[in-house]
Amino acid sequence: MQSAVVIEHVAGMNYSACAPDLPECASTGDTIDEVRRNIHEAIEVHLQGLREDGEPIPEPTTQVTYAEVA
């Protein structure tokens, strides 16, 4: 399974990441590498919790693209 992840830099602070297809699944980190590791772990824990609770795993629906602008 692949999950879209959005990473943002919070000016003057750290990085935050969220998985839009998994509500309330988010993490932070001081560096890009750290936030990537943390969100990966957060997704795994989130999915494990859904399985343990007998909840369905949401199908990924988020699409990611970039817009070229001048």
Question: Is the model's pTM score more than 0.85?
Answer: yes
The domain spanning residue 14 has which CATH number?
Answer: 3.30.160.250
Query: In which residue ranges of the chain is pLDDT below 70?
Result: none
Number of domains in the chain: 1
**pLDDT value, residue 1:** 80
3-state helix, strand, coil in the chain (%, to 5): 30, 15, 55
List beta partners, residue 62.
none
Q: 21: domain range? A: 1-70
